[in-house]
Amino acid sequence: MTTAATPKSSGTVRRSNRPLYMVFGCTVFAAFAQVLLKFGAQHPAPALALGDTATWLPFVIALATNAPLVFGYGLHAGNAMLLILALRDGELSILYPVYALSYVWVSLLSMYFFGESLNLWKNLGIALIIGGVGLLGKVSSRA
Amino acid sequence: MTHTPTPLSSILLVLFASVIGSFGAVFLKLGSQHLHRGIIGLFNWQLAAGIALFLGSSVPFIMALKHGELSVLYPMVSLGYVWTMIWSRILFREPITRGKIGALALILAGITCIGIGGR
């Protein structure tokens, strides 16, 4: 079942890097989804008391009409589909760590949307992650 | 800056969460093999299990956050990449190469730095 997904190439066949690019797209979408969830979290919501059923409906309605929250979760769901498609044809041990790239996009988007600043540590972290993912790309095209 | 130290219980909870999450990735990979049968292949128990494990891994993580510090605990979730590499070797016979180990080391170091920078 799994051998079909990761054929040992005979050396002459160069494996496609397409799954890698798909996960790359995933990380961008995941970061935007994260930003949407953060916007959604800033929406006011009525208090929920689990013991009091009367508070359930207003709470659920508030969540369902919270557009950034709904779009954020929707984006995460679409993202999962793209990730699954990528996993079908690529190595898990290469594709899964590439997901760390979303940390980089979240840092950059937080700067833009929430005015969070980058400091030395964050810059260093971003550089290291990009280096690591770049190395995975190299490993992937050689595999 | 004084920080209350992150309790061991929080660290163990996050380790547990990272292991659950790594199995989530394994089950997504297993489930993805059914996609050769078209869109109907999306409905299989492995994919459902993978998604459930991912969502489930957030429970111990949130429990850990009650007493621990996000900048310490968040980078630890990425240890899941290490477990995933081990399961991939065992279950999918994906080789563990020096390149992959080096890349993982860079990524873990990078996420740790971002955690420190977020304090």
Question: Which tokens go with B117?
Answer: 């920078």
**What does pLDDT average to over chain A?**
84
- How confident is the model over A55-90, as pLDDT tens digits? 888 888 888 888 898 999 899 888 888 999 999 989
Contact B32 A103 (CB under 8 A): no
The pLDDT assigned to A11 comes to: 41
- Distance between CA A49 and CA B84 in Å, rounded? 39
Model ipTM?
0.86
Q: Which residues contact A19 (CB under 8 A, 6 or more apart)?
A: A86, A87, A88, A89, A90, A95
Question: Which tokens go with B44?
Answer: 């299989």
Find out whether B17 and B64 touch, Cβ atoms under 8 Å.
Answer: yes
Q: Which of B25, B78, B115 sits opposite A92 (nearest CB)?
A: B25
Instruction: Count up the domains in chain A and report the number.
Output: 1
Residue A10 included in any domain: no
Residue A9 included in any domain: no
| Chain A residue whose CA is closest to B115 | A122
Q: Does the CB of A118 have a partner CB in chain B at under 8 Å?
A: yes
**Residue B84 to chain A, least CA–CA distance (Å):** 6
Q: Does the CB of A94 have a partner CB in chain B at under 8 Å?
A: yes
Q: Which domain holds residue A54?
A: 18-142
Find out whether B6 and B72 touch, Cβ atoms under 8 Å.
Answer: yes
Contact B117 A125 (CB under 8 A): yes
Residue B54 CB neighbours (<10 A): 17
- How confident is the model over A29-49, as pLDDT tens digits? 999 998 898 888 888 878 888
**Residue B5 to chain A, least CA–CA distance (Å):** 20
Identity at B34, one-letter amino acid code: H
**Residue B61 to chain A, least CA–CA distance (Å):** 17
> What length is written for chain B?
119
Residue A7 included in any domain: no
Residue A121 included in any domain: yes
- Distance between CA B88 and CA B22 in Å, rounded? 10
| Chain A residue whose CA is closest to B79 | A97
Residue A109 included in any domain: yes
| pTM of the full structure | 0.81
Q: B-chain residues within 8 Å CB-CB of A96? A: 25, 81, 84
Question: Which tokens go with A135?
Answer: 């190395």
- Distance between CA B114 and CA A52 in Å, rounded? 41
Residue A33 included in any domain: yes
Residue A12 included in any domain: no
- How confident is the model over B43-85, as pLDDT tens digits? 889 999 999 998 899 889 888 888 878 777 878 888 999 999 9
Residue A44 CB neighbours (<10 A): 6
Residue A49 included in any domain: yes
- DSSP code, position A12: S
For residue A114, how far is the Cα from the chain centroid?
Answer: 19
